[in-house]
Amino acid sequence: MHDHGSVALPLGFTFLRLLLLIAVTVVAGWALARPFTVGGALTRRVVTTVAAVGGVAALLVADASWLPGPAAVALIAALVAPPLLRKEVPWLAPSVLTVAVLVLAASALWFDGPPPATAHLALMVGFAAVAWAALCPPTLVVRVLDAGLAVALLTGLARVVLAGHLDTPVPGPTLTRVAVGGEPADVLIAPHRPGWNVVRVPDAPLRVGNAPTALVAAEHRPGATGRWALVWLDAGRGTLWLDRGGSRATVPVNPGDEPWTGPDVRGPDGTGYADAALAAVLAGKPEPPWPSLTGADERALRAQVAELPRRFALAGDASTRATAAAGAVRDEAARTGRAVVPDAPDVLVVGGAPTGERVHLAPWLRPPDLGTPEGRRYARVLADAFPGTRPTEAGLAAWRGDRTGPRDVPRVRPATP
């Protein structure tokens, strides 16, 4: 997984994360040390209370929409009851402990939720099981179970940490590498904020979605390499699902709470923005500007029109930059006595995929200069992250960290209509 920086966490989640880490340390440490210590009523009260707090924190951290309501109620009851009992309950505690251990084992073997959910469930049930074990007489069987539950808690915490569910939310384009059906796949999510996002995957038959029942096929886009899908992301932590021939993988996402205020990424501009965002992510640079027709772009385009034959065709798409460029081309053609006709052999392309007998690319569609050290490194890293991806001028500008676009014009991000 690539590192993309961080932003401040909401205070509430920071507190929950701290509670969870402390609770696992205390409860797992006590469970491991129980065979070698003699604990009294005070120790029992402390352990059951900390376990209850840790279990509730684990439930909140998990954001467990996959957990049925009755199961969540039963879990909370199992966590809250032990601190309220002031002494060992020989007839009840072993029964509840047995049920908790069986639930823990069954969830590890047969639970059919998102992969990180198994780890969250191990934490929640593990806390409840240790709390009830503290109410049981310290027999050999109970002590062995304590050790196993401690391992389950520590393993669950490790898996949650490795899955990124305790990480700081990272709004902004993000790139992650996962294995789907035994094949590695680099997944770009942009803008990685609440709302619609474009998801780029390698040129392979993959389906993508925000739930296993909401998968859509990633498809080719005109003028762009790789395959693309549109996925809605809710605020806060969630899961992106990928499917290749029935084999599935998940990517934890956390776009934060601040909605995307730029243009609609579902339009044709979305892939251009995402391509530049990919280069920025690979270089560890700030998020690039939205594609737009800069003043330098327009001057270069008008000069290009002046060199074209008297009759030429114009090809573009509905993107913001291509629409503005088409207007500038027609204006310059009229000024210089040229005619824009659909059947001319010379075609000026300002957007989309190049077509025609003699194609003339607008300045921002031409291959970038990869002869410089920066250009060569950009091409090499891009080929490693997304084999077969075509370097672009906007991508090279984002790789350099240009904040005003590739041609030194102030950045403008239009508001969503």
Summarised one tens digit per residue, pLDDT across range 292-315 is 888 888 999 999 999 999 999 999
pLDDT score for 184: 84
Could you tell me which of 136, 38, 46, 146 has the C-alpha nearest to residue 87? 136
Q: Residue 104: pLDDT band by 50, 70, 90 thresholds?
A: low
Of 4-13, 34-43, 148-157, 206-215, the range with the highest mean pLDDT is 206-215
More confident residue, 112 or 126: 126
At 9, is the pLDDT very low, low, confident or very high (cuts 50, 70, 90)?
Answer: very low
At 88, the pLDDT band (50, 70, 90 cuts) reads: low
- Please report the pLDDT score of residue 199 as a whole number: 94
Band of pLDDT at residue 212, cut at 50, 70 and 90: confident
Q: What is the predicted pLDDT for the residue at 410?
A: 27
| 109 confidence band (pLDDT: 50, 70, 90) | low
Residue 118 or 336, more confident? 336
pLDDT grade for 167, boundaries at 50, 70 and 90: low
Lowest mean pLDDT across 58-67, 94-103, 291-300:
58-67
Residue 191: cis peptide before it, omega within 30 degrees of 0 = yes
Residue 338, number of CB atoms within 10 A of its CB: 18
Domains and CATH numbers, the chain: 11-162 (no CATH), 174-260 (2.60.40), 286-417 (no CATH)
Q: Is a pLDDT exceeding 70 seen at residue 194? A: yes
Least trusted range by pLDDT, from 110-124, 233-247, 311-325:
110-124
pLDDT of residue 304: 93
